Each structure stands twice: as C-alpha cells, then as structure tokens.
C-alpha cells in the first residue's frame, strides 16, 4: 500500500519559513521532499509502510514544534 500526504506549516514571514526549512532538512534527507513557498513550509511524504509513515509524521511534528519555540525566542 502506498501512503502519500502533504503537510503545510504556515509562518508569519518568508524568513521564518526558510529558517524552519534549514532547521528541519538535515533530519529528513532522503525521506521526504520539502520546500519553502512564501511564508509556508511544504512537506510531501511517501511511504510503503503505515508504521514508518506515522513515525515520520510524529518526528516531523515534534521537530517543527521545537522550531516554532526557537522562532518565538527570536522576537
């Protein structure tokens, strides 16, 4: 079974989206495709395994929450 999803994170500025992209990219090389579009960070995920897919989504969400907290400190 092929599982596909698109997850989009919205930020206040384009700069924040690019910071988030750079912060999250090293952890996701080869697993998912990501790019910054204006003030959005878009992830396209593909997997053959539901367990692997759910683990990837869980990791991505956890790491993105940490990025948001760091961006709040920037204020």
pTM, full prediction: 0.83
Mean pLDDT, rounded, for 35-50: 93
Separation CA 65–CA 44 (nearest Å): 18
Domain assignments of the chain as residue spans, ordered by start: 3-74
The class (CATH top level) of 3-74 is alpha beta
Between residues 74 and 59, which one has the greater pLDDT? 59
User: Which percentage of the chain shows pLDDT scores above 70?
Assistant: 91
């Amino acid at each position: 079974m092929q599982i596909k999803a698109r997850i989009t994170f919205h930020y206040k500025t384009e700069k924040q989206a690019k910071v988030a992209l750079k912060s999250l990219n090293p952890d996701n090389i080869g697993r998912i495709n990501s790019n910054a579009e204006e003030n959005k960070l878009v992830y396209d995920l593909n997997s053959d395994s539901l367990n692997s897919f759910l683990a990837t989504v869980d990791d991505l969400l956890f790491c993105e929450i940490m990025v948001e907290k760091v961006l709040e400190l920037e204020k």
